[in-house]
Structure 1
Amino acid sequence: MADKRTSKTFGLLDIGTSKTVAAVIVAEQRPGSAEPVLKLAGLGMQRSKGVKAGVLTNLDDAESIVRSVIGHAERTAGVSVGNYTVSIAAGRLASTHCTARIDVESGHVTHEDMARLMSAGESYAQRDGRTLLHLNRLACELDGAAGVRDPIGFAARRLAAGLHAVTADEAPLRNLLVLIDRCYAECDGLVATPYASALAVTTPEERQFGVTCIDFGAGTTTLAMFSEGMLAGVDVVPVGGQHITYDIARTLQTPLSEAERIKTLYGTLLNAQSDEHESIAHPVAGEDDDASYETTKARLTEIIRPRVQQLLGLVGERIALNPASRFAGEKVVLTGGASQLLGLSEYVAHEFGRPVRLGRPNDLVGLNASLSGPQMATISGLATIAARGRAEWSPPYGRKVLTQGYLGRVGSWLKRGF
């Protein structure tokens, strides 16, 4: 057992379109180590219900799944966690860039000055009903001179900083908090899914030199861009691997479960002469179970490729429109369950004209090898973020809405309304 004085236990929750995962993690701080050692104590995972493209569509269905995975994770770990750090891809996640400026009254930059600066950026980001998820500095200027990473203690009369904020629509976040409360759990904080996934599969060197991480999920494809080691931009495209499954099912007139099986076992973007002659047997929806039809691997590729091309077109547009793309370098890292489609890395490299690699998260100690891989990138990144503490995923100066209990939030809404 880990020493309670040097370890902490926390919960993680990832509610995706295809699967819902809950994990109980033990972070053990060892002497001489800067980062804690993360161990998986319990894991619960089931196919999602009541979720579409990351958005809750049926609270009752989603509640039954979340209750089940949390219960399984806590029973396996032998502890009751209660508080969970939760990933979020809904709410039209978007980046906001701004510059905040303040006068330094004392002549030397203090923590209070930085608090005022960040508070100004927080107010700017939360316009038009948007909710702030993440806020970080990109660059600082002291009396017009740039290049200072940490201005605390420097002499200056005027302090300015370029800020990056990740915001989302408020309504989907409220619904997610309601769901978690209905499961008798509490939300420690919300983490943008693209940030968590990217942190799990990119290296510190890649983030320092500039990198774009594309997470191909089932219902959404998310983007995270880094420059000089800092998160500089995020975006979400509401198209994912599940749409490829729908295309296969519609074209071959086969059940969705069978289309998913065909995609997983035979789906590819690579061309081979033998594909014209390699047959794939499949049932047709609505006909007798004994009836079997055939298609070829080449035909399957013809079904898959247009959807992938459309998806990459949307991704390319979002990258081009994001101001962070100018600083994020050329490197692209792919992750997510749908990124395992054979030939996808080569196809993306050809379409974007950039170096591309498939990213796999570092395996958590105690995680079965069969469950590790790109499909677990978000939960792995959540573990890293939660272990680092509250300031990693929540702006350090406010935003109490996510730290109150459900009744406290309802009370606040009633006070504001009346």
Structure 2
Amino acid sequence: MRYMMSYDLMETMRNTNQWLGATALSMASNPALAAIPNPALSWMAAWGEVTERSYQRMVTKPDWGIYTQTCADGRDHVVEIDTVVERPFGDLIHFRVAGRAEQPRKVLLVAPMSGHYATLLRSTVKSLIENCEVYVTDWHNARDIPVSAGKFDIEDYTLYLVDFMREMGPDTHVIAVCQPAPLTLAATAYLAEQDPEAQPCSLTLIGGPVDPDATPTDVTDFGRRVTMGQLEETMIQRVGFKYKGVGRKVYPGLLQLSSFMSMNGERHSKAFMDQIQRVSRGEASDHDAHNRFYDEYLAVMDMTAEFYLSTVERVFKGGEIARNEFIVAGHKVDIGKITNVAVKTVEGANDDISAPGQCIAALDLCTGLPEAKKASHVEPGAGHYGIFAGRSWRDNIRPLVIEFMNANARKTKTPAAKRAKANA
């Protein structure tokens, strides 16, 4: 599997299916056939439309789609996305609301690098931008990064987070969603030892595998069953000539997507069949519920091979974070060194990816943190997605997180107060 041929074969299959969909749509929509009252033609056109869109989305990075924000003055303000820090494997971006006063909470939202783009957190960003200055880690697709840019494993990922936190300053509130939770905890501990003045005010970990063995799931069981040799042989491929990262070893997004889909194959098959029927009856729209979900779900990105393999080996198999034995750039990180960064964990009672118990383990690792600065919440009835983007997040979890931020904000002067003092 570790060959360009395997990578290009998957891309060829995707491209062919996209072409077949487009061809079926064009043929069945030909005006010359419009006079034939055959329902098979409308069904064929619908199949072609759904198929073409689905396979096209697999190689398209979704847009954030956040253009305006209604502020307290009742006006819609333009939202501009500024790149604050630009790096080969990921940028730090800021959602700046033009013409709005700086908000009291500065939030760093750490997006997962687990197959989907940071836009997976679109609804999370929308809910926070209302009264926060929101910054997001926007990870790049590994297939578009030249081999000359070097490697990128979990240590590099952690150091990226360290640099992003330093850039934003000590008045920052960090929220890590899913996969980056353990590495964000390690990055905070790294700062506690190496650069205490740059530590954030608070750290909220949402549904992340800090201790994967605390509550086993199908994901952790898979990590235990397979050997690293099997993973490298079956999951790793080299990027083909079509992309800038030609020759780079990656865990391909298309391969990840096939795994995602197989976990709930029957449900996905039904969803697409139902959508084809809706399109054939003229009941579907460009932004209906099906398209909104699958435009994001099908848009996958490649991960560097070293990041994927080191995550499995060191976080899941070795449990280095859970055992407080994680090493970054030759330095052994001690999570117990976190003493003044408030830490909160959020879990979903029905989360089958990062089950309750895996994330709250972070609090036990923070041995140097007073109990008054620790908090946890388990959301009843919530699954994995719901705890950061669904109704549970909007109605229950987000208010708790905002309250946690307010309670642990450091008493620092705002830029306006600093300017007033300088002009005095």
For the superposition of Structure 1 and Structure 2, which TM-score range results when normalised by the shorter chain? under 0.3
- TM-score of the two chains, using structure 2 as the length reference: 0.26
Higher helix fraction (1 or 2): 2
Instruction: Work out which structure has the larger RCO, using CA pairs closer than 8 Å and 6 or more positions apart in sequence.
Output: 2
- TM-score of the two chains, using structure 1 as the length reference: 0.26
